[in-house]
Structure 1
Amino acid sequence: MTLSRRAGLGLAAMGLAAPFMAAPSMPARAAAPFRNQAAPAWYRFRIGEFEATVISDGALPLGKPGDGFPGAPPAEMNRILTDNFLPTDGVVLEQNILVLNTGRQLILFDTGMGESMGNDSRMFGPTTGRMVQNLRAAGIEPAQIDIVAVTHAHCDHCWGLVDASGARVFPNAQVAISELDLRFWTDDANKRGPAFMPIFIEGAKRNLNAYRDRIIPVRDEQPVVPGVTALATPGHTIGHHVFAISSGGRTVINSGDLAHHHAIMLRRPAWEFAFDSDPAQSARSRARMLDRVATDRHALLSYHFPWPGLGHVARQGDGYAWVPAPMNVTGLG
């Protein structure tokens, strides 16, 4: 009997495969060590003609929910957290730093905790202070930043202006901040009240005074640069501002600390936050701006909401709901 060429090739292939098929199975070995390292965290998208990049300074653990939101009824707090599939024994915020490329300038919004205050820079744990490394991972050098726009002078927003030696992290940048916050948080006379005030004042002095010769005053409804307008939202601090970024018919509100938590403070905008200078005024500013954002259907970039902090605010009952933007968006309205 004569075998066809195709059949012969098939038998040959089976013969070649036979030794491998007959070999005993080898156990898999997990020889690679655990990395235990976070991946570089940056995210890029468009706002009209502008290019926006979100940089992470790392997670910011606040501790027990009752510590951060002292006036909240515990049962209702637990319900809100549980309904949002969040743990009830601790609250963790993000630090979402925006870099805006307008085509003419690079503007950085807030700076994270940084390293300027030594051990105090880790008061919220070891996960903060990653802004510079993530900035570089996104292809941006600190020396390229033209303006640092500071929403307010708290530690997690301005302590990254100088390094551990006191040198400017952004050697070519001007700093845009409200005159009210600049004066208040660099005045030793304000080291009173809550226990955190003395170190917050010292940190603001160390970081902001290094840029005293290059301060740009931020004022309500006034542009910082073309396409970026400051909007006063006082209460969290005396001079807290958010920034409306508009280009090509699109607007994104960079909201700073208007609302710290995507579930708690949107569902209950009137609740007090422990680090508010004036909780009642802060609640009024929050209600006013959330209503505006929801009505106008503008996108929101929140400093403390889940990474990368980008999405929309929708009305829900007597409060609001957070609607994260899809991570593949190229632009937001």
Structure 2
Amino acid sequence: MSIVSRRGLLGAAAATAVASVLPGLPAMAAAPFRNVLPPAWQRFKVGEFEATVVSDGLLPIGKPEPAFPTAPVGELRNLLASNFLPLDETPLEQNILILNTGRQLILFDTGMGESMGPASKMFGPTSGRMLQNMRAAGIEPEQIDLVVLTHAHCDHCWGLVDGAGNRVFPNAQVAISETDLKFWTDDANKKGPEFMVTFIDGAKKNLLAYRDRMIMVKDGQPVAPGVVAISTPGHTMGHHCYAVTSGNATMVNTGDLAHHPVLLLRRPMWEFAYDSDPKLSAQTRTRMLDRLATDKHQILSYHFPWPGLGRVVKEGEGFGWYATPTNVSVL
């Protein structure tokens, strides 16, 4: 008997069984579709610290070929297809870390926010959900003591203020590299790709609202007890990762070190269209991924599949991504 005919018989048997169990009952209307996503937050431990990841929603950046301009098209499509990923779109997550050290409540990056009106939806309507998901996790923006920025791109700093320019985190300091602060608030840098004008206008509106309470991060130096900055230039020239350590546990928040868990891990030297210096970014990415694989640290990646927690391992000419089960603390 063929597989098709077996399946057909099983389906027919199931239908007959239902009919015989429920004779004479009228057909019932199906439950309505909800079409609403549930709150997205996840909580776990890093040593004695409590970590919460909240989602800012999906950030779809369009077809993959323009986003990875140096990738051979055939190889790119084969990698996507073999990993059961879409060929016509590149949906990225936005995984925002909130760290409770027992002394401070620290937010890493802020998502797209709503500060720039229609421009805040330049990548579509599915982003800008950080605050509602933060509140669903029991955290209010007034409780945040420190906002640590990996860099000053729109999907990382535009949630600092609201549409009227008011501080969303009224009691927080903001930590950022001096390189990114200077570059992304300078109108002279409105050149090159068209998006640069909007990116700089948004960075100015959001960052300068906190100018009197800024902390300048430095490579290898603590931003807060248990949180150390790691310079990883290229995506922006002031991009930083952050190592979070409590007791014997370390997790590295990698920000935008790699945007895609397949394309930029399997082929870390491929370039990404939104990098300030694509070649430097590829070199930094390869070097840092090798370090993370060697150290076997957990990482939290901003754009990897929800909630972005896992490990990288060396595989062939690149790296593999292994997600951590969401109910497991970092050890």
Other-structure match for 1:263 = 262
Q: CA deviation at 1:67?
A: 1.4
- Aligned equivalents of 1:26, 1:46: Cα separation in 2: 51
RMSD: 1.1
2-side partners of 1:288 and 1:218: how far apart? 21
TM-score, with normalisation over the residues of structure 1? 0.92
- Equivalent residue number for residue 201 of structure 1: 200
Report the equivalent of 1:187. 186
- Pairing 1:107–2:106 present: yes
Q: Paired residue for 1:157?
A: 156
User: What is the CA distance between 1:23 and its match in structure 2?
Assistant: 7.7
Counterpart position of 2:230: 231
Report how far residue 99 of structure 1 moved: 0.1
What is residue 77 of structure 1 aligned with on the other side? 76
Letter in structure 2 aligned against 1:236: H
Secondary structure, in 3 states, of the residue corresponding to 2:255? coil
Query: 1:34-62 CA distances to partner (integer Å, 9 max, x unpaired)?
Result: 21111100000000000000000000001
Instruction: Give, as a single letter, the amino acid of the residue that structure 2 aligns with 1:316.
Output: E
SS at match of 1:255: strand
Aligned partner of 1:52 in structure 2 is 51
1:25 maps to 2:25: yes
Output the amino acid matched with 1:36: N
**What letter matches 1:78 in structure 2?**
R
- How far off is 1:85 after superposition? 0.6
Spell out, residue by residue over 1:80-104, the C-alpha distance to the aligned partner (whole angstroms, 9 max, x if none).
Answer: 1011110111111000000000001
Could you list the per-position Cα deviations for residues 160-199 of structure 1 after superposition, in whole angstroms to 9, with x for gaps in the alignment? Answer: 0001111100000000000000000000000011111110
* 42 and 22 in structure 1: CA distance in 2 versus 1, 3 angstrom threshold: closer
Q: Which amino acid aligns with 1:130?
A: R
Query: CA separation of 1:22/1:230 partners in 2, compared to 1, >3 Å: closer, same or farther?
Result: closer
1:146–1:79 Cα change, 3 Å: same
Report which of the two structures shows the higher radius of gyration computed on alpha carbons.
1
Amino acid at match of 1:332: V
Structure 2 residue aligned with 1:332: 330
Equivalence for 1:14? none
How far residue 33 of structure 1 moved from its aligned partner, in angstroms, is 2.7
Deviation at 1:28, TM superposition (A): 2.0
Residue in structure 1 matched with residue 309 of structure 2 by the alignment? 310
Alignment partners' CA distance in 2, 1:221 and 1:295: 18
The structural deviation recorded for 1:284 is: 1.3
Q: For this pair of structures, how many residues does the alignment match?
A: 311
Q: How many percent of aligned residue pairs carry the same amino acid?
A: 67
Q: Give 2:245's aligned amino acid.
A: S
Secondary structure of the residue that 2:304 maps to in structure 1?
coil
For 1:137, the equivalent position in structure 2 comes to: 136
Helix, strand or coil at the partner of 2:150: coil
Deviations along 1:266-319, whole A, 9 cap, x unmatched?
A: 001001100000011111111111011000000010000000000000111010
More deviation, 283-292/42-51 = 283-292
Aligned position for 2:239: 240
User: Which amino acid in the other structure matches residue 26 of structure 2?
Assistant: M
CA distance in 1, matches of 2:23, 2:307: 50
Q: 2: distance between equivalents of 1:166 and 1:309?
A: 30
Q: Which residue of 2 aligns with 1:8?
A: none
**CA 241–23 in structure 1, closer or farther in 2 if over 3 Å, else same:** closer
Give the letter for the 2:253 counterpart: N
Could you tell me which runs of 5 or more consecutive residues in structure 1 were left unpaired when the two chains were aligned: 1-20
Distance 1:323 1:207 in 2: 35
Q: Which runs of 4+ in 1 moved over 2 A?
A: 21-24
Structure 2: distance between partners of 1:167 and 1:80: 44
TM-score by length of structure 2 reads 0.92
* 1:297 match: 296
